[in-house]
Amino acid sequence: MEKTHYRWMLVPTLLFLVLFIYVPVVRGGVMAFQHYNLFDLSTLRFNGVGNFISVITDKHISFAQILLNTAVWLIGSLTFQFILGFALALLLRKPFAGRGLYTAFVFYGWALSGFAIGLTWAWLFNGQAGLVNDLLIRLGVLDQPIGFLSNPRLAMMSVIIPNIWYGVPFFGIMLLAALQSVPNELYEAATLDGAATVRKFISVTVPYVKPTIVSTILLRTMWIVNFPDLIYAMTNGGPVNRTNILATQMINKVFKEYDYGQGSAIAVIIMLLLFVYAVLYLRIVEDSKEELL
């Protein structure tokens, strides 16, 4: 009787998830094995792994390049988001006047649209009259404006910087919450044992917040790989595919070429790569735990 009520209360949520998330995910998995082009639906048929082969052996857009771009985008963004976010959390750990207000301001970034932030930074990096060019000219680094987003050597850096800017608050929030749960007695005990600040950081802080570090890095990895909005707004994968990651390539297959089969194949590749990553990552984390013990 009681249980029936609880069951009914779950129904609307489960319906939403099944109809609009899980059925589409399965449907997308099927489409990855179909020749499915919106321009020519008369050719709709199963074509085995044809889409995967087409994507991987694409002559115009090297798949190896896209994988490399995705790796650079991920590692560059994640490393600096983590380091700066951790630093921010450490700076905010001890209370000071106005800390609440400061934290609120800094964490505002979380609420902002990735797409609008991408457009904002496209303007900051503008090759004609961008703020970055203006600052570098004032500082005497540059003589005249350069096209950060049109220069193949600078484009990737120019999309990673905004992504770092955008992601630091996330690590900041999560790590600050974890740091605040470290019992003060641990630091006091370490101080009594004569531990220096660095030593305390390595032996007390890091082990205590390690579970948060592990889970935030995993979540953030998935999120960065699945985050085409910013690149889409700034360069849409250009110039000459230098900023084209798997996610933007999928968007382009869908929005530009209307090739839903190949688009879905890329989506499947992304999901598979992230799944393998998650399994390996968690295994490595588990192993290192045993070694430490």
- Is residue 209 involved in binding another protein (CB under 8 A)? no
- Is residue 120 involved in binding another protein (CB under 8 A)? yes
- Is residue 10 involved in binding another protein (CB under 8 A)? yes
Question: Please, which of residues 43-82 interact with another protein by CB under 8 A?
Answer: none
Among 196, 265, 227, which Cα is nearest to 70's?
Answer: 227
Nearest to another protein of 25, 75 (CB atom): 25
Please tell me the distance from the alpha carbon of residue 136 to that of residue 200, in angstroms, as a whole number.
40
Of 58-66, 105-113, 152-160, 201-209, the segment contacting another protein by CB under 8 A is 105-113
Of 62-70, 185-193, 199-207, 270-278, the segment contacting another protein by CB under 8 A is 270-278
Among 61, 72, 137, 146, interactor with another protein by CB under 8 A: 137
Of 57-65, 69-77, 186-194, 268-276, the segment contacting another protein by CB under 8 A is 268-276
Among 39, 21, 20, 29, which Cα is nearest to 266's?
Answer: 29
Amino acid letter, 133: N
- Is residue 192 involved in binding another protein (CB under 8 A)? no
Whether the CB-CB separation of 169 and 85 falls below 8 Å is answered with yes
Q: How distant is the alpha carbon of residue 198 from its chain centre?
A: 30
Of 70-78, 114-122, 237-245, 281-289, the segment contacting another protein by CB under 8 A is 114-122
Please tell me the distance from the alpha carbon of residue 121 to that of residue 161, in angstroms, as a whole number.
9
List, in sequence order, every residue forming a beta bridge with 45; answer none if it has no partner.
35
- Is residue 222 involved in binding another protein (CB under 8 A)? yes
Nearest to another protein of 117, 156 (CB atom): 117
Distance of closest approach, residue 51 Cβ to another protein, in angstroms? 12
- Is residue 223 involved in binding another protein (CB under 8 A)? yes
Distance of closest approach, residue 102 Cβ to another protein, in angstroms? 7
Between the alpha carbon of residue 1 and those of residues 8, 15, 75, the distances in Å are 11, 22, 52
Nearest to another protein of 152, 255 (CB atom): 255
Q: How distant is the alpha carbon of residue 171 from its chain centre?
A: 12
Whether the CB-CB separation of 122 and 163 falls below 8 Å is answered with no
For 259, which DSSP code?
B
